[in-house]
Structure 1
Amino acid sequence: MKMGIVTGIPGVGKTTVLSKVSEILSLENRKYKIMNYGDYMLNTAISEGFVSNRDEMRKLPLSKQRELQLIAAKKIVEDAEKLGEDGLAFIDTHAVIRTPAGYLPGLPKHVIEILSPQVIFLLESSPEDILNRQKRDKGRIRSDYADINVINETINFARYAAMASAVLVGASVKIVINKEGDPSIAAKEIISSMM
């Protein structure tokens, strides 16, 4: 099984691009699984009574976020291994999470060593496109990312964090641009990098 981690800041279009990855791989009859790291963390956080929605998680104390990250990593690997040798596993997550206490690495040592991906993808777009996508997405609360300067800062921190994580496991880091209006371009680039 090959594992790729697809990261990007809120509003960059990870969910849309990964749904295109799913479409393409389904048409090719490939064995794959797309796993949202936040879903794994959220399911645990809700069941333990720590939060009631996803956007509250990044406001939890850092120690609690680290605990949830570790539980999620173990469960993701367990689920990915079920794909067998020829399967492709994609993890939808963030390289960094902006919290009141500062930037939290989304893929710290204790997590990245468990996941051990082959590639860490940085899905990026222009800050203006990201801001516009955030404004259109009424289903999420992202006011803490709704500023061009914060978006630029977060993109830079995500790059540093992805490279630092990659060094620990010998993964490559690939920047993939999500062009406005055609997420299939980014999806095809992600798939071809996993082959």
Structure 2
Amino acid sequence: MKLGIVTGIPGVGKTTVLNTIKEILTKNNAKFIIMNYGDYMLKTAIELKYVNNRDEIRKLPLNLQRELQLEAARNIFRDASSLGDGLSFLDTHAVVRTPGGYLPGLPKHIIEILQPQVIFLIESEPEQILKRQSNDKTRSRTDYSDPSVIKETMDFARFSAMASAVLVGASVKVVKNVEGDPAVAANQIISSL
């Protein structure tokens, strides 16, 4: 199993880059899967009646977020393992900004289940992230609406990604999401995995 964890703060363009990865690998008839940690967590959270939508997850008490993280990790590993030697990509966050502080997205008990080869940090300038957020009317990201908060969150994401990587011997790669050309980041991620 080859697993790359693709991280980045809300609005950095992870979904666009991952969609581009999907297009590239589909054209090349590659065997791959793209999973979203939030989708796995949301499915369980809705079943347990904890939330009604995705953006409410990061506002849950930390103990419930941890419970959802663990269940998601187990299901993600199962799905990635079922692909055999194909490429697996996991869309998630290295950190989650919560009312109680920064929650590691890939703490010890999670990263040891997932066993990634690479943790990717997709980054952009804070002002560009704000612009992308304002253009996305499908999500509510008011808690990331200040450039200094975005910068701080990206710094914590770097620290967290490296700490997680140390636990499983993964590498960490910073990938810049070039405005207007997500194929640059997509190709860097594919070639690194």
User: What TM-score results when the alignment is normalised by the length of structure 1?
Assistant: 0.98
Secondary structure of 2:158's match? helix
Corresponding residue for residue 21 of structure 1? 21
Q: Does 1:171 align with 2:170?
A: yes
TM-fit CA distance, 1:82:
1.2
Q: Tell me the alpha carbon deviations over residues 89-111 of structure 1, each in whole angstroms, 9 at most, x when there is no partner.
A: 00000000000000000000010
TM-score, normalised by the number of residues in structure 2 = 0.99
> Which residue is equivalent to 1:137?
136
Question: SS of 1:68's equivalent?
Answer: helix
Superposed displacement of residue 135, structure 1: 0.4
Shift of 1:146: 0.5
Secondary structure of the structure 2 residue equivalent to 1:6: strand
1: CA distance, partners of 2:167 / 2:93:
17
The separation in 1 between residues aligned to 2:125 and 2:188, in whole angstroms, is 18
Where structure 2 has 5 or more consecutive residues not aligned to the other structure, the ranges are none
4+ residue runs of structure 1 moved beyond 6 angstroms?
A: none
Q: What is the aligned partner in structure 2 of residue 114 from structure 1?
A: 113
SS in 1 for 2:9: coil
Distance 2:25 2:82 in 1: 17
Report what 1:9 is aligned to.
9
Distance in 2 (alpha carbons) for counterparts of 1:84 and 1:171: 19
What residue number does 2:122 align with?
Answer: 123
- Counterpart AA for 1:109: K
- Structure 1 distance, partners of 2:137, 2:59, is 20
SS at match of 1:174: strand
User: Which residue number in structure 1 is paired with residue 98 of structure 2?
Assistant: 99
What residue number does 2:151 align with? 152
Partner Cα separation in structure 2 for residue 78 and residue 156 of structure 1: 31
- Distance, in Å, in 2 between the alignment partners of 1:58 and 1:83 is 30
Partner in structure 2 of residue 33 of structure 1: 33
Q: For residue 137 of structure 2, what is the amino acid of its counterpart?
A: K
- Write out aligned runs for 1:13-92 (5 A): 13-85=13-85, 87-92=86-91
C-alpha distance after superposition, 1:43-97 (max 9, x if no partner): 0000100000000000000000000000000000101111112x00000000000
Q: For residues 19-55 of structure 1, what are the alpha-carbon distances to aligned partners after superposition, in whole Å with 9 as ceiling and x for unaligned?
A: 0000000011000000000000000000100000000
SS in 2 for 1:122: strand
Letter of the 2:125 partner, please give it.
S
Instruction: Give the counterpart letter for 1:30 in structure 2.
Output: A
- SS in structure 2 of the partner of residue 34 of structure 1: strand
Distance in 2, Cα, partners of 1:63 & 1:169: 24
Partner of 1:112, secondary structure, is helix
Instruction: Report the counterpart of residue 162 of structure 1 in structure 2.
Output: 161
Q: Secondary structure at the match of 2:155?
A: helix
Q: Which residue of 2 aligns with 1:189?
A: 188
How many percent identity over aligned positions? 69
